[in-house]
Amino acid sequence: MHQPSSSPHAPALPGADAPVAALPTAPTATVGRLSRRSLLLGAAALAPIVAVGAGSAGQQASALSGFHDAAGLRRVGEWPHPDIRSVDFRFDTGGMVKTFPPSVRVTVPPSYGSSPDRRYPVLVLLHGQGGFYQDWTNRGGVVEQTEQHEVIVVMPDGGSGSFYSNANAPLPGRGAAWESFIMDQVLPFVHANFRTRPEAMAIGGLSMGGWGALALGQRYWGHFRSVSSYSGPADCGISTADGLAVAGAIWICPSFELAKHPLTANFVGATWGPSVNPPIAKSYNPMDNIETYRGKRVFLRTGDGAWDDFFDDLRADRELLGQFEAKVGTIGENVIENAVHPNQQRFSDALGAAGIDHDFAVIRGATHEWGLWKDNLAEDLPGIMGVLNA
């Protein structure tokens, strides 16, 4: 299933501190059968059926205020949504990300407004290729799923095809340091503005975000107690067909930003350069860093269906498909239909061979879509909370 392809960003506010009760209405851009407006308003429509939690709506509203700039992030938009226990920020990153002003949604626990002296663990959730910061609310059911779990959920923009790496070969003036934005700016901003327990954090994501969770989870070893990947590839090594497909995806996916931001997006090769197998790949590749997962909780889920959020978009653009196949060769239908499953299976086998505990399962008959990922999060949350509260 495709991620939403509309521009995710509401118009800028006149000032960072201007009080805004809800996201402003913007011109509608059709996305299949869903409009941008319907996606943005969908979360608000949940208000009649989603309980605010232990605190009153007034307490939550008060708790979702009083924020300040931090960690090099300057707020250029701020939208509290107490009815869904959330607040959205849009940032000027000071040059960290220049392709567009990125946004972040933070969802607080049900008791956040009524327990002003309590501090909470943090769960970072990453969206997939072509997605944006509201996906886990609008399609993953984060508000409903965290009603019984006292955790602050941080959901940042990560670009349409960054694979949560910094762009090492961007075009001039188009810096896109997504990894540094999240790790060096967003998380310190959240710790400075919310009552967090920085020593108790978990990270998870779907598809491209699943890769991002595995990659960042091992690159920042001391940050995360739990690492979760839902349908996320785990090996970009070029010795296998599915690994080569992942490497090719990392190479070509920066160009997917062109659909949203044609004047500021980067082109193919912006992430790690012109090669599909550069030396830097090993520092990100989960398969090349097996030992870094020792001592962590690792949760892996995948269906056995197609990696369609990537390959469908690729096949829709004949020029990009031609570049992809010229770079990595023609990818057979067996790989398209079954890329993530064997890729994640091989990673699980390597973890097992190293004696590293992990939880891996293939959901037979499930494809690359939100029904699967929503179920994955529901299954995962109790284990995440068990580790964070240990």
Query: What digits encode the pLDDT tens for the residues 100-138?
Result: 999 999 999 999 999 999 999 999 999 998 999 999 999
Record the pTM: 0.81
41-45, 237-241, 247-251, 309-313: least confidently modelled range = 41-45
Q: Give, in order, the Cα–Cα distances in Å from 58 to each of 54, 64, 114.
A: 12, 10, 10
Distance CA(351)–CA(104), nearest Å, equals 32
Average pLDDT, the chain: 83
Per-residue confidence (pLDDT) for residue 59, from 0 to 100: 80
Query: Residue holding tokens 């910061």?
Result: 133
Look at residue 316 in the predicted model and tell me its pLDDT. 66
Measured distance CA(50)–CA(57) in Å, rounded: 12
Q: What is the DSSP string of 352-371?
A: HHTT---EEEEETT--SSHH
What pLDDT, on a 0 to 100 scale, did the predictor assign at position 341? Answer: 85
| Distance (Å) of CA 27 to CA 6, 133, 166, 364 | 11, 19, 31, 41
Lowest-pLDDT choice from 3-12, 267-276, 336-345: 3-12
| pLDDT higher than threshold 90 for residue 41 | no
pLDDT average, residue stretch 190-201: 98
> Which neighbouring-strand residues pair with 303?
363
Q: Confidence band (pLDDT; 50, 70, 90) for 323?
A: low
Question: Looking at residue 56, what is its pLDDT?
Answer: 58
Q: In what order do the strands lie in the sheet with 152-156?
A: 74-81, 86-92, 103-107, 152-156, 120-126, 196-206, 226-230, 297-303, 359-363
Give 70-103 as a DSSP string: BTTBEEEEEEEEGGGTEEEEEEE-TTSB-SS--E
pLDDT band, residue 319 (cuts 50/70/90): low
- Predicted confidence at residue 242, as pLDDT, reads 86
Q: How many CB atoms lie within 10 A of CB 230?
A: 31
Q: What is the pLDDT of residue 320?
A: 62
Q: What share of the chain is helix, strand, coil (3-state, %, to 5)?
A: 35, 20, 45
8-12, 72-76, 222-226 — which is least confidently predicted? 8-12
Residue 134 and residue 43 in contact, taking contact as beta carbons nearer than 8 Å: yes
- The three-state secondary structure class of 214 is helix
For residue 82, the one-letter residue type is P
Please name which of 189, 139, 137, 131 lies closest in space to residue 157, comparing C-alpha atoms. Answer: 131
For the ranges 46-50, 110-114, 280-284, 290-294, the lowest mean pLDDT is seen at 46-50
Q: What is the mean pLDDT of residues 360-376?
A: 91
pLDDT 10s digits, 50-87: 444 444 567 888 889 999 999 999 999 999 999 999 99
122 bridge partner residues: 152, 201
CB 123 within 8 A of CB 154: yes
At residue 27 the predicted structure's pLDDT band, cuts being 50, 70 and 90, is very low
Q: What is the pLDDT of residues 324-364, one digit of tens each?
A: 556 555 444 344 436 788 899 999 999 999 999 999 999 98
Given this model, what pLDDT does residue 45 score?
Answer: 43
Gap between the Cα atoms of 229 and 377, Å rounded: 10
The secondary structure element, H or E, covering residue 123 is: strand 120-126
Backbone angles phi, psi at 28, to 5 degrees: -80, 135
**Residue 299's pLDDT is what?**
98
Compute and round to an integer the Cα radius of gyration of the chain.
20
Q: How far apart are CA 378 and CA 256, in angstroms?
A: 30
Annotate 317-330 with b (16+ C-beta within 10 A) or e (fewer): beebbebbeebbee
Specify the range with the lowest mean pLDDT, choosing from 123-137, 149-163, 284-298, 361-375. 361-375
At 50 the pLDDT is 44
What is the pLDDT at residue 293? 98
Instruction: Find tokens 């590293």 and name the residue.
Output: 356
**Beta bridge pairs of residue 86:** 81, 107
